[in-house]
Structures are given as structure tokens and as C-alpha cells.
Structure 1
């Protein structure tokens, strides 16, 4: 008898261990174990329950008891008087109840079990290797009795097998969670996103929306406050994205990029509403480590029926919308449309065009004169990049402007232009044409590399050209960065002049004129174009000229193309002008000829007082 019992227990153990080792789902393993235990212990009804991290009972198997019984117990908290299983889990010891009808521990649960004809219950805790109770294994009886010695041996084996199976299931669930979830935010990860997108695209036709977004200026947060704060910002954004409601899944794809899949969005209006809601979630300032951070994200979206042939194309279209949004609507939302693909293709081609021209030294510096309107003399020039094509044609910056959205190209172009501008200025000085300044445009990229002063000094000292002959032009958007503004102030202290380019096309805040370190304001061509036809535009330009004069800031009107525009600007006191009406951008030799024609040698004045503002 003993040998047969040992053989039966060994067979049970082998069967369950093989199921665990081969990856059989835990629910199947638990059901099999209960049924086999009931076969070896006639008259016993077996159940297995789990205990979750909150201490709640979660029935897992009980094939011989009604399903409603397990459902009634699901979610009950373990405790000192919670039947046999809840009490065994609470104290971590076996609990034998031989008469449910009279035992205090069953008082609140008698109505569930007595109508089933069950009169006794023996429950044993199942523990993890660390000793934490993770479940219970129980025998119910239809008579008032306790377990036999053979049943005790059986339960010992079953509890051991349950512990192994539950540990394996926990490890498997943890690995599945790691495989599909991002560790920093707890959101679904790229692997989960790829699977879900593939399933949605393979399913019967149904329109859904996809949003891609990333966090603006996260690099500045990391650089200024540390990566721990940057990680906290990523977590906060993830939490805020997850809060708007149901009908969507949020994924962190990596870095500062997130994806949102919305199955309930099937038109552009719903997509815009969702994007607006998500942007609104970022409005509340985020307090972290004694820092107040304004969160900002940019969003690109796509609907799944834009002629997409698969998940890759859908994702690519959302990427195109996001990249376009970052260029034209940073902090906002752009929905994909087929025209964006042409724009991105154009950008790619222009990046390649500029990169190749830089490699082959086919970038040229042309110069457009800045004219003193009252004296009709050249008092400065602006350096503008041009490319000579393989066929010898000269193309202007408009033909490769999108190539400058690549940071590597932008950085290389500035280096190339600095060298060519310094060389041209040296040539003019050698001819006795001492020009007060040459303006060169700088971008955000030039300031971000951290070695701008060294680059400027190196290029000009190599040609023995003083830095006070250089004027740097920056836009309002560039100057909004406090670090950039600080660098500009240092350059100005070294004798270089600073011009605010394209004024009126960026933030256009008058307070910036007070806060920024400026020598000149360049009125954008759009104002000049409307000067004669738009009363409000005329008033703005007139007021700006008057204000700049009182603030001792020079002012230059750009894009003058007609005599009427020039005459009106002269009437309202604009001192300096630039545009096709006077001269188009030309090469260095032609500029030298123009300088001689516009009054010969331009006498250099005291840099401390000369702002190129022409006296009346």
C-alpha cells in the first residue's frame, strides 16, 4: 500500500513538473493538479487560490465546485477570520476546520459553502522561495472530518508542486511584463507597439488613429538639471498622457518619443480633439527637485486609411507629420496629408545637395550691400551662401534652405562661410576698401556646440581681420534660449555687433528689444512689402523706427524692391536699407567694384560710437 502510494505521488509529481517545464499555462496546471489530487483522495474537493500583492484572494482552480463559489470569493481580503483559506494565508500556517457550521472563522462565509453540502475544509498556505504567501491549497469535505495521513502526504506534495508552478508562472509573467513594458514609465514599449500596430493593420478594415509625440527641449532639461530630472519629466509626461480616458493605448517608444493608438478615432476632427486634449494635459507646470518645469510636447498624427499598405508605412507617415510639426508648429499638432511626403522628400534631396556641395567646396559667399539711404553709400554687407552646381549654375539659399534643417549641414555651412567671409574681408582691406562690417547669419546649432567664440576667433585671426568687423545676425526664436542670449552678449563684449534678423516674424515682443543685447533691428521683408498698402503695417514700421532711434539701436529695412518703398522709408526716417532695388547679392569682386562706385573708400569710424546709424 505504501509503495503504491509512493508510486502514485511520484507519477503526479512527474506529470506536473513536466507540464511546468514545457510551459503549460498555469491555469491548466492548477486544474490538472486538482483533478489528480481528487482522484488520489476520494471524497475530497480540491481548490487552489492565489493571493495577490494587495492580500486579496484570487481563485485559480476548483473543478468540482460551482464556478459561482469562486466568483463569490474573488477579491476577498485575507484575515484572521476569513474561512480556512483566508486565515491560512493570513497567518501562513495550515488551518483545519472540521465543522464549518460552528467555526467562527467561517461565520461570514457559511451561506456560501453550507448550501453546497460542504461541512469541513483544510487549507495549507503556498509560499514563495522568500517565504511570502502566494496562495493556498485546500481540501473540502462533505463530512465533518479532518485529513487522513495519506491526504497529508498528498497535500505536502501538492503544495510543493504548486509553489514550483506558481514561481514559474510569476517569473513568466514578470518576463512578459519586461518584454512588453517600458521600465522607466511602466507604459507599453516599442515591442508591444509593433505587435499591436501589425495586428490592427492586418484586421478587417477599420479606421483608427495614431499619434506620435516627443518632448520638446528635453536635452536642455538634462543639461541644466541632470538626467535624473530628465527621467522624472519623461515619467510625468507618460502619466499625463495616460490620464485622458479610455479608447486609447499609450506607448513609450524610447528616449522622449511616445505613441498613442486610438481605436475610436476615425476622422480628422476626432484626431484634432484628442491631440488638443493631450496638449492640454501638459499645461500645468511640473515641480521636480525644487525646479518648476513647463512641459511641452509636439504631436504628429495619421489616420489608418491614407493609402497605407502596412504598419511600416503608417508609422512612417506619422513620423513625417511629427517632423513637420517640429519645424512649423513646435508645441502643437499636425495631421499627416500626402503632400507632406513630397515636402520630406524635398528636404532629403536638399540635405544631400548641400552636403555634397560642402564636400566638393562648391559653396560660395555672395554679398548684398546695406545702404545708407540718405548718403547712397554702402556701409555694410550681408554674407549669403550660394551653391555652384556641377553645370556651373549659381543657386540661391532658397534652393537648399531645407538642407539646413540638418544640424550637421548647418554647422558645416557656418564654418565654411566664416572662412570665406574672413578671406573676402582681407581682400577688401588689402585694396584699401575698409568696410565697417560684414553680417553673417548664425543658427541655434552654432550656439549649441559650445565652441562658437573659438570658431569665430580662429577664422578671422587666420586672415588678420579684426572681429569688430563682424556682425552676427540671429532671429528672435534663436535668442529666446537664455544660453544663446548669454553667448551673444559675450560676443558683443568682444567688439562684434548683433543684429536681430527677420523682426516681426517670430515672437515679436517689444520687451525683447529691451532684454536682448542688440545693435540693430532688421525689419522683415513682409513689412516692407505691405508698407504702401497696409495702414497698420506702415504705422508699425514708423513706430519701430522712432523707438529704435530713441533706444540708440540701428535699424535696417530688408527686401526693398521698388523706388516707392525706398522713398516711403526715407520719409519716415529709416536710416539703412537692403534689397534688390539697390543691389542683388554678388560675389566679393563685384562688391569691391560697388564699394568704389558708391563713394570710394568707406572711412572707418570709432567702433565705440558707430552703429552704422546715419546721422540726419
Structure 2
């Protein structure tokens, strides 16, 4: 096959893959097909796709490949750096790194026992970038002999890296959309829609299994003054600060929700009748301890109402209403916390 026909065939294959990606809910079959296509167009090559963890600056396997298991295990979690292999350098420098001969290149010196055992002698790595040109991974080609890419091979690898970036960014966008559908954008707590979807099921499960359950309704006193005096940015920061305290003081099995502007709801299973009140008192104390004196000087405070599931069948809305009533008693009486009997 001539270079022109090879390149045309590769572009057609990649276009077909992109069309299929638009309808696919799973990225893994797509990446497997990309790897298979590149290895078909570049005979005797081995392809790897690594994903960059932005927090740790380490690379991790993004798709199953045809390299030996021992090699994949050894490079899993490798830290990026200007002189670390081909992929580590490509991710760090955000540019293509072509190593024609692994055996004589300084980037690979410390890894020679591993590459020789795997019979790998060249590696070309291309950074995978998102639409903002931030590195999100690497696309690499290994060969069993020293080799420099031709112009056509270079083009095939670049296009493969590009469509891989489209797939990864699509997955990240879908995950973000799913998260935002059930979570409050500002605080990261669950949102009201999620509460409406799962709250009744949570209550029903407790009733069926004869489990105790509490609902905490939190309201921030004089929160509007914070926005008026210090601005909405400071108010948003305060809401996130309070949300973090709520997350730290609740379990993964609890449902912590931003119910409205400065209102929060927590649904929790109890191990005894006092659990709801104990958690409420701990959250109340931690919030007041964490808030600055200048905000407290605005008469800022927290009122928490607690309602507990009793022996009567109750809906989520009924329990929220009871907790809301308890919260207003706490607010009017300046009690901080009130438990609805």
C-alpha cells in the first residue's frame, strides 16, 4: 500500500470510529479499536494510552494494550518529568518525544532492564491534550527494534492521539453532566432533585427494616447580611465552608443536601435515638467555631431542627416539614438546635 493510500485508509477508519463514538456510552471499546487500528496500520507496533492524574502528576493505564503485563505493572503510576522515558517527558513538556533507540537514550537509562526484558527498543510518545491544550494523557508507539517514524506514520499517530482526546473529553463531560444532575454546583452536596428522587426510598427502606432515621434541617441566620456587607463571593465561600463541615460530619450512607440558598438537609440512619441530635450539635459547634468574628458580629448563627422517624409511616415531605418546624422553633427561641418530639 502506498503512503497516500495508507494515510487515506487510516483517516477513513478514524472517521468511522468517531461516528461510532457519538453513539457509544462506553469509552473502552472505542479505545481498544483505536489501538487495534494503529497497530494494523503500523505493523509490529505496540500502542499504549496513558491518562494523566492532574493531582499527582502520574500516568495511569487508560486502555488495555498488548504489552507484557509485567511492563504495564511497572510503569503504572509513573511520575512525569522532562527526562522520564518518552511518555513521562511528552506529558511534562507537552510535546511529541521521539526516542529512536531506547538503549542509548538518557531518558530510558534507568528503565533498560525492564525494556530489554520486554524487547522494546523504540518509543514515540504524543501528548493527548484537551480543547484547552492541557495535557490529559499520552499516546505512545513501541517497536521491537530501533525506529524513527516516517511522515505518514507521524500523521497516523497524531490523528489517533487527537481522536483519543475527543473520546476522553467526551467521557469527562458526560461524568460532569451526571454529577451536576444530582449535585449542587457550588457546594458539591447533593441537590434538591436528588433528594426528591431517592429520599422517599431511603425513608421506606428504614421503615421496612425497622431502622431509626433522623432528618436535620439547617438554616443560616442573618446570612443575607454576609452577602450585603462582604459581597456574594464571601457568602459563597461561607456556604462552601459549611458544606465541607457537613460532609466531614456525615457518612457516605447519609444524604447531605443543599436544599435552598442557605438551607441544608441531612437524612441519616440512626444507631440510637440520639444520633440525629448528636450530629446536629457537633455540626452546630464546628460551624460557629470556624466562622470569623467579623461574620459572627453580624449576628450570624445556625438553627438546626431535628425530626426523627417514629412508628407511624411517614413520607419524606412530612419528615422535612417536621424538621422545618423544629428549625423555626430553634430560630425563634434562639436555641440553636431543637428536636421535634
For the superposition of Structure 1 and Structure 2, which TM-score range results when normalised by the shorter chain?
Answer: 0.7 to 0.9
Partner secondary structure for residue 281 of structure 1 = helix
Partner secondary structure for residue 148 of structure 2 = coil
- Aligned with residue 122 of structure 2, among 104, 110, 120: 120
Higher relative contact order (CA 8 A, sep 6+): 2
Partner secondary structure for residue 136 of structure 1 = strand
- Aligned with residue 277 of structure 2, among 272, 280, 285: 272
Alignment coverage as a number of residue pairs: 333
Instruction: Let me know the Cα RMSD of the aligned residues.
Output: 3.4
**Change in CA separation of 1:228 and 1:133 when aligned onto 2, cut-off 3 Å:** closer
Q: Any idea what the Cα deviations from partners look like across 1:242-277, whole Å, max 9, x if unmatched?
A: 2336444532122111123445x3432322222222
5+ residue gaps, structure 1: 338-616
Matches within 5 A, 1:597-612: none
**What does residue 103 of structure 1 align with?**
105
Whether contact under 8 Å (1:88, 1:123) holds in the other structure is yes
In structure 1, distance between residues paired with 2:224 and 2:295 = 19
**What does residue 287 of structure 1 align with?**
292
- Aligned with residue 325 of structure 2, among 323, 326, 336: 323
Q: 1:304: how far off?
A: 6.1
- Aligned with residue 259 of structure 1, among 262, 265, 270: 265
Whether contact under 8 Å (1:127, 1:133) holds in the other structure is yes
**What does residue 94 of structure 1 align with?**
96
Q: 1:194: how far off?
A: 3.5
**Change in CA separation of 1:223 and 1:136 when aligned onto 2, cut-off 3 Å:** closer
In structure 1, distance between residues paired with 2:304 and 2:10 = 61
Per mean C-alpha deviation after superposition, the further-off stretch among 47-56 and 67-76 is 67-76
Whether contact under 8 Å (2:47, 2:140) holds in the other structure is yes
Whether contact under 8 Å (1:185, 1:234) holds in the other structure is yes
Partner secondary structure for residue 304 of structure 2 = strand
Whether contact under 8 Å (1:308, 1:314) holds in the other structure is no
**Change in CA separation of 1:151 and 1:227 when aligned onto 2, cut-off 3 Å:** closer
**What does residue 46 of structure 2 align with?**
45
**What does residue 17 of structure 1 align with?**
18
Partner secondary structure for residue 61 of structure 1 = coil
Q: 1:294: how far off?
A: 6.3
**What does residue 165 of structure 2 align with?**
163
Q: Any idea what the Cα deviations from partners look like across 1:555-598, whole Å, max 9, x if unmatched?
A: xxxxxxxxxxxxxxxxxxxxxxxxxxxxxxxxxxxxxxxxxxxx
In structure 2, distance between residues paired with 1:48 and 1:304 = 51
Whether contact under 8 Å (1:296, 1:331) holds in the other structure is no
Whether contact under 8 Å (2:216, 2:323) holds in the other structure is no
Per mean C-alpha deviation after superposition, the further-off stretch among 35-44 and 219-228 is 219-228
**Change in CA separation of 1:321 and 1:186 when aligned onto 2, cut-off 3 Å:** closer
Whether contact under 8 Å (1:137, 1:159) holds in the other structure is yes
In structure 2, distance between residues paired with 1:209 and 1:217 = 26
Matches within 5 A, 1:541-560: none
Partner secondary structure for residue 157 of structure 1 = helix
In structure 1, distance between residues paired with 2:37 and 2:318 = 54
Matched, 1:59 2:61: yes
**What does residue 219 of structure 2 align with?**
214
In structure 2, distance between residues paired with 1:324 and 1:292 = 25
Whether contact under 8 Å (2:219, 2:327) holds in the other structure is no
Partner secondary structure for residue 13 of structure 2 = helix
In structure 1, distance between residues paired with 2:292 and 2:122 = 57
Matched, 1:138 2:140: yes
Partner secondary structure for residue 96 of structure 1 = strand
Q: 1:71: how far off?
A: 5.5
Matched, 1:242 2:247: yes
In structure 1, distance between residues paired with 2:128 and 2:241 = 38
Matched, 1:8 2:9: yes
**Change in CA separation of 1:237 and 1:295 when aligned onto 2, cut-off 3 Å:** farther
5+ residue gaps, structure 2: none
Partner secondary structure for residue 274 of structure 2 = helix
Matched, 1:129 2:127: no
**What does residue 238 of structure 2 align with?**
233
Whether contact under 8 Å (2:217, 2:327) holds in the other structure is no
Q: 1:53: how far off?
A: 3.4
**Change in CA separation of 1:143 and 1:196 when aligned onto 2, cut-off 3 Å:** farther
**Change in CA separation of 1:163 and 1:233 when aligned onto 2, cut-off 3 Å:** closer
Q: 1:320: how far off?
A: 1.3
Partner secondary structure for residue 188 of structure 1 = coil
So what's the TM-score if we normalise by structure 2?
0.81
Q: 1:281: how far off?
A: 0.9
Whether contact under 8 Å (2:120, 2:145) holds in the other structure is yes
Whether contact under 8 Å (2:14, 2:34) holds in the other structure is no
- Aligned with residue 181 of structure 2, among 147, 155, 179: 179
Per mean C-alpha deviation after superposition, the further-off stretch among 125-134 and 166-175 is 166-175
Matches within 5 A, 1:351-370: none
Q: 1:231: how far off?
A: 3.3
So what's the TM-score if we normalise by structure 1?
0.48
Whether contact under 8 Å (1:286, 1:294) holds in the other structure is no
Partner secondary structure for residue 62 of structure 2 = strand
**What does residue 302 of structure 2 align with?**
297
